[in-house]
Amino acid sequence: MKLFKGGVHPPQQKNTTEMKTVAMGVPSVVVIPMVQHLGAPCQPKVKRGDTVKVGQLIGDSEAYVSAPVHSSVSGTVTRVDNVVLSGNQPVMCVEIKPDGLQEVFEEIKPPAVDSRESFLSAIRASGLTGLGGAGFPAHVKLNPPKGTKVDTLIINGAECEPYITSDYRECIENTDGIVEGILHVLKWTGIEKAMIGIEDNKPEAIKALSQAVSDIPSITVHSLPARYPQGAEKTLIYALTGREVSSGKLPADVGCIVMNVTTASFVASYLKTGMPLIKKRVTIDGSAVKNPQNVEVLIGTPLREVFEFCGGFKSNPEKVVMGGPMMGVSQFSLDLPVLKHTNALLALDETQSRIPEGSACIRCARCVRACPMGLLPFELDRLVDAKKYEEAQKIHIMDCIECGCCVYACPAKRLMVQSIRIGKDYIRRNTKK
């Protein structure tokens, strides 16, 4: 096994490991954004006053790189309007007032799949996006560009972010579903083999999946040393295959497609039931949460109601993060909705939210040792501060995967990855034109 260089060992905080998933039920309102993926936004297919049912299509796009959106509840559309979400951009959203009946849309039925094409269009129709974090439309990922030859499907069960256990629970609670989903993908895409990578801090998941695939030679399970960011696409591919995805290249360029465990199992459940992606297991944790647990949440549920379901807050939630503490996105309001790729919600109290005051770089080189991409974070930070973007580009600022290891490790508490984001954004905006 190849081990990536660098990385950090934040405290794991997997407090919810043993907590069985609890379904939350129907919230008082759902707000469903038309963009929950990387790619073109969907156009709303419903208008105010329409009644919708569970699984009904409410947004779609002509664009290829896009994923349709479905209603997670039955009820009445109360608003179709732009809402500012955590990306600070207004996004068209459909607000639905649930009737609580959860009537299933009549047209929901298992898709007919008999070819690669029908498989891919079924995946698109399901609304599936990568559930691990980035939210890339699954049908696009499974249809690699011409000229690439994919021989390995990599199933990501690393879950290297602290706190999050939602993928772990998937491995335990839906072991067979994951395997079934992988077999579907292998069958219809013609990829020869699948490798499941799981960090060694989850021995039960490794055991369960190893047993489930013991008589399936095309699927293997691999234990990976627990180290953040083991579950990042590039480091995971490297660990399992020894192949390095260079900057600006896709995993398919080295013959790999990476899929999260929960994404894989959803493929199986969709092909069986035809129910699109309308709910998600979310780990609720953080120092301000009263009862940390894994909750099955309907997509579009306001964060506030999810936390209320978990007993509310035991201390003032100073910061609320969607995703893990290393790469998650802080939310400005508890009224924002749970999205397709939401895997965790963390409510941090004041102590945990405090941003330590930065001081001068002491050149200790901890950031250089921590960087899994082999970059010089301290130097990139300095160059962006000095607005020397071209020099920063020369030392590969665009290769940064923004994992945050440099900032985590820094004793001077410098905001290196934050500077790098600013630099990357500046370069992107000024090279396109």
| Residue in 45, 280, 319, 340 binding another protein, rule: CB under 8 A | 319
| Residue in 65, 332, 387, 431 binding another protein, rule: CB under 8 A | 332
Both tokens of residue 144? 């690699």
Cβ of residue 218: shortest distance to another protein, in angstroms?
27
Task: Find tokens 């609580």 and name the residue.
Answer: 100
CA gap 134, 378 in Å, rounded: 26
The separation between CA 291 and the C-alpha centre of its own chain, rounded to angstroms, equals: 23
User: CA geometry: angle at 109 spanning 104 and 115, to 5°?
Assistant: 150
3 binds another protein (CB under 8 A): no
CA gap 272, 283 in Å, rounded: 26
| Residue in 353, 383, 389, 423 binding another protein, rule: CB under 8 A | 353
Cβ of residue 197: shortest distance to another protein, in angstroms?
17
329 binds another protein (CB under 8 A): yes
From the list 45-53, 198-206, 359-367, 423-431, the region that binds another protein by CB under 8 A is 359-367
266 binds another protein (CB under 8 A): no
Both tokens of residue 41? 């936004």
* Helix, strand or coil, per DSSP, at residue 375: coil
CA gap 311, 209 in Å, rounded: 33
CA gap 167, 154 in Å, rounded: 15
* Helix, strand or coil, per DSSP, at residue 75: strand
Residues 6+ away with beta carbon under 8 Å from 269: 177, 181, 275
CA gap 20, 166 in Å, rounded: 10
Q: What x-and-dash track marks residues 143-182 binding another protein by CB under 8 A?
A: -------------------x--------------------
| Residue in 356, 387, 390, 425 binding another protein, rule: CB under 8 A | 356
Q: Which is nearer to another protein, 214 or 333 (CB)?
A: 333
| Residue in 219, 346, 380, 383 binding another protein, rule: CB under 8 A | 346
Question: How many Cα atoms within 13 Å fall on the side-chain side of residue 196?
Answer: 34
368 binds another protein (CB under 8 A): yes
Strands 51-52 and 256-260: unpaired
Both tokens of residue 1? 């096994």
4 binds another protein (CB under 8 A): yes
| Residue in 14, 184, 366, 424 binding another protein, rule: CB under 8 A | 366
Q: Which is nearer to another protein, 50 or 349 (CB)?
A: 349
Q: What x-and-dash track marks residues 230-249 binding another protein by CB under 8 A?
A: ----x---x-----xxxx-x
Both tokens of residue 71? 């209603």
Cβ of residue 14: shortest distance to another protein, in angstroms?
14
Cβ of residue 244: shortest distance to another protein, in angstroms?
4
203 binds another protein (CB under 8 A): no
Cβ of residue 82: shortest distance to another protein, in angstroms?
20
Q: What x-and-dash track marks residues 112-131 binding another protein by CB under 8 A?
A: --------------------
CA gap 252, 141 in Å, rounded: 9
Q: Which is nearer to another protein, 33 or 324 (CB)?
A: 324
Cβ of residue 157: shortest distance to another protein, in angstroms?
22
Site residue total, another protein (CB under 8 A): 67
Q: Which is nearer to another protein, 75 or 323 (CB)?
A: 323
Q: Which is nearer to another protein, 168 or 238 (CB)?
A: 238
CA gap 379, 166 in Å, rounded: 36
- Please give, one letter per residue, the 3-state secondary structure of 184-248: HHHHHHCCCEEEEEEECCCHHHHHHHHHHCCCCCCEEEEEECCCECCCCHHHHHHHHHCCCCCCC
* Neighbour-count burial of 19, counting CB atoms closer than 10 A to its CB (0-12 exposed, 13-18 middle, 19+ buried): middle
Both tokens of residue 160? 């290297």
For 211, phi then psi, to 5°, come to: -65, -40
Q: Which is nearer to another protein, 231 or 323 (CB)?
A: 323
Which residues form the interface with another protein (CB under 8 A)? 4-5, 8, 10, 162, 234, 238, 244-247, 249, 316-321, 323, 325-334, 346, 348, 352-353, 355-356, 359-366, 368-369, 372-376, 378, 395-396, 399, 402, 404, 407-413, 415, 417-418, 421
